[in-house]
């Protein structure tokens, strides 16, 4: 058996893993990324290819390095289409937005980590975490049939949604969030299709509810003639036939006549709140492996980049203080919650709300709410309602006043939840009490919406 020793082992060469490794390597520590795919395939990730906020990406792999992958920077708004409810709504998207060549982007983030000094071991599937006295001390893996062991001071898990690593360790004495179920995730599938003529919505990210089940479809233009088309559904709902339903929708849109499929991929994505804690002694989970995804839009690239950086910095501090305990790593959780975790938890309340209503009610309601307000709710976590806007909304949604009233009640609870996340504890000692209070707010949310408990 081969044994490698590093300061830090990072599992997964995605965005989270690459940013973590770049941060650690830049500080002069020995870090390896262990990636199950081969060098050719690494960076090929199922995604809608929409990248938001790249101008503020961490400097460890700056935007300037990623720009060669930006194939459409003309895109500046979302378009919500619900033809059966006669709704078409343009929603402004604040900040910088691009649609990217995702494979090229994936290669560039890995290159960023390697140029910073990280090693990458491809073709190596991590099988389990190694744990001694409750502390994670490395991983076991298999490289082309041969067992390999990695020993390290710290392990960073960037292995993506439903990371199998987390099932191989005993976290019963740690704060690490183990309240994780399939039903909190979405199953999604996308194709890259080439069309004959440029689409006339080249500047928009187009969303649409699916015909069957409570799912959603998207069409994101990578170029005027190369479109990322995909769909997904929450796994708590009735399963969809992803490939067949996508085909059926494309056949009904004339711009996709004679379209050719260039690539296909499917995956799970966390449409749930950020893990309450992403740490255990010697271990930090980043990106999808800790649900750092906007649970409404499904955007997770930015969350993975930032949490990768925060985890890298925390790992360095732990090594320098020779303290790998949760207390030592806790600041990582605080930074994640402060940056986006609280906002994502509040947004998830609307996902919970939506499971208790008919999709036709919700789309009609969405059509009645001004796009700017939806945009504010989506990107700042909450939004104020001016009396004039409220009146206009009420008039346009007059057939759905019960749903509006329930939505308003749910919004109050989402705001309460957001406030509570602002009091996220600054040490593990306050964690249980904070969670108890948060769960009490969640109970009120389930009671108000009539939805089944998600957690
Ligand atoms: C269909 C779909 C559409 C999406 N659309 C968008 C979008 O438009 N915009 C957006 O911002 N986000 C989108 N997302 C979410 C986004 O893709 C993820 O949030 C982001 O890629 C997370 O990065 P990550 O580094 O955490 O994980 P990943 O990018 O999934 O990387 C994980 C890496 O770990 C490797 N790995 C996994 N298990 C092992 C193992 N056992 N051993 C070794 N290596 C392992 C994988 O091969 C992979 O390279 C979408 C997701 C899906 C599924």
Whole-structure pTM value: 0.93
Ligand 1 touching residue 278 (CB < 6 A): no
Based on the domain organization, do 367 and 435 belong to the same domain?
Answer: yes
Whole-angstrom distance, CA of residue 83 vs CA of residue 259: 22
Q: How far is the CA of 267 from the centre of ligand 1 (A)?
A: 8
Please report whether residue 210 resides in a domain. yes
For residues 382 and 438, membership in a common domain is answered with yes
**CA pair distance 410, 9, nearest whole angstrom:** 42
Is residue 99 lining ligand 1, measured as CB closer than 6 Å? Answer: no
**Dihedral angle computed from the Cα positions of residues 158, 333, 169 and 157, in that order, rounded to the nearest 10 degrees:** 10
Distance CA 325, CA 283 (A): 9
Q: Residue 268 CA: which ligand 1 atom is closest?
A: 53
83: in domain: no
Please check whether residue 81 lies inside any domain of the structure.
no
Write down which residue in 270, 292, 324 finishes a domain: 270
Domain final residue, candidates 319, 340, 361: 340
Residue 160 CA, ligand 1 centroid: distance in Å: 5
Backbone dihedral angles phi then psi of residue 57, each to the nearest 5 degrees: -65, 150
- As a whole number of angstroms, the distance between CA 277 and CA 427 comes to 11
Whether 335 and 363 share a structural domain: no
Query: Ligand 1 in contact with 37 (CB < 6 A)?
Result: yes
* 441 inside domain: yes
306 in a structural domain = yes
The pLDDT assigned to 373 comes to 63
* CATH code, domain with 312: 3.50.50.60
- Using CA atoms, how far apart are residues 341 and 333, in angstroms rounded to an integer? 9
Atom nearest to 228 CA in ligand 1: 8
User: Which own/partner contact pairs does 319-323 have at CB distance under 8 Å and 24+ positions apart?
Assistant: 319/7, 319/8, 319/29, 319/153, 319/154
Q: What is the pLDDT of residue 408?
A: 78
Strand 204-209 to 283-285 pairing:
unpaired
Q: Is the CB of 58 under 6 A from ligand 1?
A: no
Q: 216 and 109 share a domain?
A: no
Question: How far is residue 336 CA from its own chain's centroid?
Answer: 13
Residue 231 lies in a domain: yes
The whole-number pLDDT of residue 218 equals 95
Is residue 366 domain-shared with residue 230, that is, in the same domain? no
Helices 301-321 and 326-336 pack at an angle, to 10 degrees, of: 160
Cβ contacts of 216 within 8 Å, gap of 6 or more: 207, 208, 209, 210, 231, 232, 233
Q: How far is the CA of 288 from the centre of ligand 1 (A)?
A: 6
Q: Are residues 378 and 425 in the same domain?
A: yes
Look-up: residue for tokens 């711009």? 255
389 in ligand 1 pocket by Cβ < 6 Å? no
Question: Are residues 363 and 235 part of one domain?
Answer: no
* C-beta 307 within 6 A of ligand 1: no
Asked, for residue 308, whether it belongs to a domain, the answer is yes
If one residue of 34, 39, 44, 45 were mutated to test the ligand 1 pocket, choosing by the most ligand atoms within 8 A of its CB, it would be 45
Q: What's residue 213's pLDDT?
A: 66
Q: How many other C-beta atoms can be found within 10 angstroms of the C-beta atom of residue 52?
A: 19
Helix (H) or strand (E) holding 14: none
pLDDT of the residue at 362: 64
- 194 by Cβ neighbours in 10 Å (0-12 / 13-18 / 19+) ranks as middle
Residue ending a domain, among 255, 270, 285, is 270
Asked if 201 and 335 sit in the same domain, the reply is no
The whole domain housing 154 covers: 2-69+97-179+272-340
Give the pLDDT of residue 12: 98
How many whole angstroms from 152 Cα to the centroid of ligand 1?
Answer: 24
Residue 209 in domain: yes
Ligand 1 centre and the CA of 379: distance in Å?
A: 21
Closest Cα to atom 29 of ligand 1 = 14
Domain count, the chain: 3
pLDDT tens, position by position, for the chain (455 residues)? Answer: 899 999 999 999 999 999 999 999 999 999 999 999 999 999 999 999 999 988 889 999 999 999 999 999 999 998 988 877 777 888 888 888 999 999 999 999 999 999 999 999 999 999 999 999 999 999 999 999 999 999 999 999 999 999 999 999 999 999 999 999 999 999 999 999 999 999 999 999 999 888 776 788 999 999 999 999 999 999 998 888 899 999 999 999 999 999 999 999 999 999 999 999 999 999 999 999 999 999 988 999 999 999 999 999 999 999 999 999 999 999 999 999 999 999 999 999 988 988 876 666 666 666 666 566 666 665 655 545 555 555 555 556 566 667 667 777 888 999 999 999 999 999 999 999 999 999 999 999 999 889 999 99
Q: Are residues 280 and 198 part of one domain? A: no
């Amino acid at each position: 058996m081969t044994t490698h020793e590093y300061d830090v082992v990072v599992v997964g060469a995605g965005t989270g893993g690459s940013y973590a490794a770049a941060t650690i390597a830049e500080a002069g520590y020995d870090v390896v990324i262990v990636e199950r795919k081969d060098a050719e395939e690494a960076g090929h990730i199922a995604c809608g290819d929409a990248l938001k906020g790249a101008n503020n990406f961490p400097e460890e792999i700056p935007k300037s390095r990623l720009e060669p992958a930006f194939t459409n920077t003309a895109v500046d708004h979302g378009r919500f289409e619900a033809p059966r409810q006669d709704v078409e709504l343009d929603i402004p998207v604040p900040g910088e937005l691009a649609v990217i060549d995702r494979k090229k982007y994936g290669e560039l983030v890995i290159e960023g980590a390697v140029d910073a000094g990280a090693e990458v071991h491809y073709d190596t599937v991590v099988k389990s975490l190694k744990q001694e006295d409750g502390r994670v001390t490395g991983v076991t893996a298999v490289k082309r049939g041969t067992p390999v062991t990695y020993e390290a001071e710290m392990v960073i898990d960037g292995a993506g949604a439903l990371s199998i690593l987390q099932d191989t360790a005993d976290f019963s004495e740690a704060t690490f969030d183990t309240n994780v179920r399939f039903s909190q995730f979405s199953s999604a599938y996308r194709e890259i299709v080439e069309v004959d003529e440029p689409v006339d919505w080249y500047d928009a990210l187009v969303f649409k509810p699916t015909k069957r089940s409570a799912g959603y479809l998207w069409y994101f233009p990578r170029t005027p003639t190369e479109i990322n088309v995909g769909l997904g559904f929450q796994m708590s709902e009735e399963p969809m036939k992803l490939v067949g339903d996508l085909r059926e929708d494309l056949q009904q849109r004339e711009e996709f006549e004679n379209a050719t499929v260039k690539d296909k991929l499917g995956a799970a994505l966390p449409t749930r709140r950020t893990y309450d804690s992403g740490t255990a002694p010697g271990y930090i989970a980043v990106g999808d492996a800790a649900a750092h995804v906007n649970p409404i839009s499904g955007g997770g690239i930015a969350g993975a980049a930032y949490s990768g950086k925060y985890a890298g910095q925390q790992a360095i501090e732990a090594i320098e203080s020779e303290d790998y305990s949760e207390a030592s790593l806790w600041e990582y959780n605080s930074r994640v919650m402060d940056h986006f975790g609280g906002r994502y938890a509040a947004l998830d309340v609307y996902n919970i709300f939506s499971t208790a209503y008919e999709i036709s009610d919700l789309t009609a309601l969405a059509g009645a709410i001004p796009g700017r307000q939806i945009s504010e709710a989506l990107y700042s976590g909450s939004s104020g309602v001016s009396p004039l806007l409220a009146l206009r909304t009420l008039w346009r949604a007059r057939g759905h006043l019960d749903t509006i009233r329930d939505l308003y009640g749910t919004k109050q609870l989402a705001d309460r939840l957001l406030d509570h996340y602002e009091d996220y504890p600054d040490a593990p000692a306050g964690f249980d009490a904070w969670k108890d209070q948060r769960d009490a707010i969640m109970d009120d949310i389930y009671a108000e919406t009539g939805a089944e408990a998600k957690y």
